[in-house]
Amino acid sequence: MKKLDKKEILGYLFALGATAIWSGNFIIARDLKSSIPPISLAFWRWTVALVVLFPFAIKHFVKEWKTIKKNIGYIAIVSFLGVTVFNTLIYIAGHTTTAINLSLISITFPIFIILLSRIFFGEQITLTKSIGILLVVFGVVLLITKGNLSKIGQLSFAIGDLWMLVAAIIFAVYSILIKQKPKYLSVSSFQLSTFFLGLLFIIPFYIWETLNVPTVAFEYKTLFSIAYIGIFASLTAYIFWNKAIENIGPTKAGIIYYTLPLFSGTLALIFLGETVNVTHFYSLVLILLGIFTANYNTTKNKRGKKST
């Protein structure tokens, strides 16, 4: 067995760190359901992230303004999907489903990438990919019906599970689009642009929510949670993730990301008192098995190409 070098060890640690931090986002989505409305939580999260990032990214932003202006349409779409919609849906979902369910459903996004790539780019769906998709679908259905498949006919799923499923699809679209990021646009200026526009798009919804939902009580716990998701889940985890990809590559980092439900399940058990039962275990096994099966053929082909 090949011994890991220092760079690889750091890569895995960075990936684990990012995943652990992101898992906290689902705990907060669930924990603050009675303290702060979902859109307000998203608004304050990105406000904090923007304020913290601004002094570090403004120099690059000004320098690359022409590139940003030239690609403003693309940046606006990515901002709306990745900043405005995706995380807001997670916070909406957190009002009616558990943190462990949120994390389990969130890791299904690679399957939606495969399906969307087929629809929009004509990429072939092989037999292994088809089997993988079916396994993931069955795992999600088992999860949202709480192991009682008879609920399918009754349509009595937790609405939060369905919102999280929509969020996973949105993240898949975002992930496909992010590959098209302009080459001459630095990470910091790109992030600053998306944070700013995403926050701008949230404002009308935030105003509506403020006028129609009871005022937020900014208690210590609420302020700490907003700071956590604004600084750590939005910035620190992103830096860790990029370091992980730089050291061990996206495939190995992606495998570490699939441990997200383990972190969320542990935190939900400790801080929220949520129960993790055998249905969660079976769902996790099916979803992970489906993802690895769907991506097996692609990985094998890549290795074959390298050896020729």
The residue count of the chain comes to 308
Confidence of residue 3 (pLDDT cuts 50, 70, 90): low
- The predicted pLDDT at position 153 comes to 55
Tell whether the model's pLDDT for residue 48 goes beyond 90. yes
* Token output for 283: 């769902």
- The predicted pLDDT at position 291 comes to 81
Share of the chain above pLDDT 90, in %: 41
Q: What is the pLDDT of residues 219-243, one digit of tens each?
A: 888 999 999 999 999 889 988 888 8
DSSP at 37 = -
> Could you give the C-alpha distances from 263 to 16, 187, 283, in angstroms and in order?
10, 27, 16
Give the residue-averaged pLDDT of 71-94. 95
Total structural domains within the chain: 1
How many beta carbons lie within 10 A of that of residue 231, not counting itself?
Answer: 18
Burial of 97 (0-12, 13-18, 19+ CB in 10 A): buried
Residues 216, 77: Cα–Cα separation, whole Å = 29
Residue 1 domain-assigned (yes or no)? no
- The predicted pLDDT at position 297 comes to 53
Amino acid at 208: W
Residue 257 domain-assigned (yes or no)? yes
Residues 174, 76: Cα–Cα separation, whole Å = 12
Residue 258's nearest CA partner among 298, 226, 227, 293 is 293
On average, the pLDDT of the chain sits at: 86
Residue 265 domain-assigned (yes or no)? yes
Give the residue-averaged pLDDT of 138-143. 82
Residues 153, 4: Cα–Cα separation, whole Å = 50
Q: What is the pLDDT of residues 11-38, one digit of tens each?
A: 889 999 999 999 999 999 998 888 899 9
Residues 225, 35: Cα–Cα separation, whole Å = 11
**pTM recorded for the entire structure:** 0.83
Give the residue-averaged pLDDT of 45-69. 95
Are 287 and 107 contacting, i.e. CB atoms less than 8 angstroms apart? Answer: yes
Decide which of 184 and 84 is more confident: 84
Residues 37, 193: Cα–Cα separation, whole Å = 25
* Angle formed at CA 160 by CA 158 and CA 162, multiple of 5 degrees: 80
* Token output for 62: 């000004």
Give the residue-averaged pLDDT of 78-96. 94
- Helix, strand, coil share of the chain (percent; to 5): 80, 0, 20
Decide which of 142 and 63 is more confident: 63
Decide which of 125 and 210 is more confident: 210
- The predicted pLDDT at position 225 comes to 93
- The predicted pLDDT at position 306 comes to 40
Give the residue-averaged pLDDT of 197-220. 90
Give the residue-averaged pLDDT of 103-121. 86
- Which residues, including other chains, have CB under 8 Å from residue 18's CB and lie 6 or more apart? 237, 238, 240, 241, 244, 257
- Which residues, including other chains, have CB under 8 Å from residue 52's CB and lie 6 or more apart? 230, 231, 235
Confidence of residue 157 (pLDDT cuts 50, 70, 90): low
Residue 38's nearest CA partner among 158, 205, 260, 197 is 205
Tell whether the model's pLDDT for residue 303 goes beyond 80. no
Residue 193 domain-assigned (yes or no)? yes
**Domain housing 144:** 6-307
* Token output for 137: 């679908």
Confidence of residue 63 (pLDDT cuts 50, 70, 90): very high
Residues 228, 52: Cα–Cα separation, whole Å = 12
261 three-state secondary structure: helix
Decide which of 308 and 127 is more confident: 127
